[in-house]
Amino acid sequence: MTQKIAVLGGGSFGTVVANIAATRGADVHLWMRSEKQLQDILETGINTRYVPKYPLHERLIPTNDLAGAVVGADIVFMAVPSKAFRVVLNDAIPHLGAETALVSLTKGIEPEGFRLMSEVLEELVPDHPIGVISGPNLAKEIAQGHLTGTVVASQSPELRNQVHDLLSDRSFRVYTNPDVYGVELAGALKNIYAIASGMAAALGMGENTRALLMTRSLAEMSRFAARLGANPLTFIGLAGVGDLVVTCTSPLSRNYRIGQAIGQGYNLKQAVKQLGETAEGVNTLKVVKAKADELEVYMPLVAGLYAVVHENEDVDVIAQQLMLGERASDVEFIFDSENC
């Protein structure tokens, strides 16, 4: 039987995931709040605002009727920014079927209570199968057909297989992982370091410096994640290293572009306005800085970036302090295991 899929959020990632599912034979309802955007897609067959030049499959039905999109859906994919996640989910809940699975595509953290999106799902729809998707997935590259790998994480093997079968195609490879928290945390945290990398690029860093920054970012994010109970090994997979590499090197990443703009001398407000799209890392930086302070986790890159982005400290001064002040152990999990 043909699956019914709902994707809530008509931005760049929601649109490409919806289109892949439609191309794979599902009936896909792509919900967006904007009437103007809906009319544009109905007229042109393209989401010109978010993914121009990407023709949408005829099985993809754009809509702004949330109830109609969700009713009878086998899977609901949540593709709105984290700040809108809870509100949109609450609106969807009365229309969910008893068996409907929910999968988050969102890479952010709710500030109140430091909740990841899977935790919001667990809180609000505890009886439904839930999962997350994360990985090196620049939406615009997926739209161009570049070979891409993603990770679906869920504690339900059935849901992992269902999403794998739904979305796998010649250019989109789906890998699976049971570590929901680690996969999701990696996707949220790397946005912070993408901002740092964009900033360093604007300041003229060399390739040695880029390698240093990315490797120390990985050390810092896995240290934080391990403290919160995630499996640090998840961070060497696609959702960790993979996503860190792509967002720390590509100007297609919106977080990287925020960093670039700040490195060029714009303030945060100007950088965000110029971007005009979602850059989750700006808020994630705030939330993670507060959590790291609370838990006393050593995160010098987060602390330095926070000072520049949110406290207007001078970027050159902080950049110098950062690398000079860092602790000198390379792979600290080795030291931990040797009890040094």
Ligand X SMILES: NC(=O)C1=CN([C@@H]2O[C@H](COP(=O)(O)OP(=O)(O)OC[C@H]3O[C@@H](n4cnc5c(N)ncnc54)[C@H](OP(=O)(O)O)[C@@H]3O)[C@@H](O)[C@H]2O)C=CC1
Residues in contact with ligand X by CB under 6 A are 9-14, 32-34, 37, 50, 79-82, 84, 87-88, 105-108, 137-139, 277-278, 280
* Cα(21)–Cα(165) distance, integer angstroms: 10
148 part of the interface to ligand 13P, by CB under 6 A: no
CB of 181 to ligand 13P, least distance (A): 17
Q: Report d(CA 261, CA 282) in Å as an integer.
A: 13
255 binds, among ligand 13P, ligand X, none (CB under 5 to 8 A by kind): ligand 13P
Q: At 66, which amino acid appears?
A: L
Give the C-alpha separation, 101 to 94, whole Å. Answer: 14
75 close to 101: Cβ distance less than 8 angstroms:
yes
Residue 50 is labelled as binding a ligand: yes
- Residue 291 is among the residues annotated as catalytic for this protein: no
Interaction between residue 75 and ligand 13P (CB under 6 A): no
Choose between 19 and 82: whose C-beta lies nearer to ligand X. 82
**Residue among 19 and 137 whose Cβ is closer to ligand 13P:** 137
Residue 148 CA to residue 250 CA, distance in Å, equals 15
From residue 319 to residue 338, the character string flagging contacts with ligand 13P as x (rule: CB under 6 A) and all else as - is: --------------------
Please choose, from the candidates 15, 22, 8, the residue with its C-alpha nearest in 3D space to the C-alpha of residue 167.
Answer: 22
Judged by beta carbon distances under 5 to 8 A according to partner kind, the member of ligand X, ligand 13P, none in contact with residue 247 is ligand 13P
What letter does residue 236 receive in the DSSP assignment?
A: G
Compute the least distance from the CB of residue 107 to ligand 13P, in Å: 5
Q: Which is nearer to ligand X, 49 or 289 (CB)?
A: 49
CB of 254 to ligand 13P, least distance (A): 4
C-beta of residue 5 within 8 angstroms of C-beta of residue 43: no
Contacts for 265 with CB less than 8 Å, ≥ 6 apart: none
- Closest contact distance (angstroms) between CB of 283 and ligand X is 10
Closest CA to 205 of 246, 247, 248: 248
Q: How far apart are CA 291 and CA 288, in angstroms?
A: 5
H-helix or E-strand containing 186? helix 180-202
24 is in an annotated binding site: no
Residues in CB range of 269: below 8 A, 6 or more apart: none
Does 136 help bind ligand 13P (rule: CB under 6 A)?
yes
331 exposure class (CB count in 10 Å sphere: 0-12, 13-18, 19+): exposed
Within residues 159-218, the interface with ligand 13P by CB under 6 A covers 191, 194
Can you tell me the distance from the alpha carbon of 318 to that of 326, in angstroms, rounded to the nearest whole number?
12
Q: 243: annotated binding-site residue? A: yes
Query: What residues are designated binding site?
Result: 9-14, 33, 50, 107, 135, 139, 190, 243, 253-255, 280
Tell me which residues are annotated as active site.
190
Query: What residues are designated binding site for NADPH?
Result: 12-13, 33, 50, 107, 139, 254, 280
Q: Which parts of this chain interact with ligand 13P (CB under 6 A)?
A: 107, 136-138, 191, 194, 243, 246-247, 253-255
Query: What residues are designated binding site for sn-glycerol 3-phosphate?
Result: 107, 135, 190, 243, 253-255
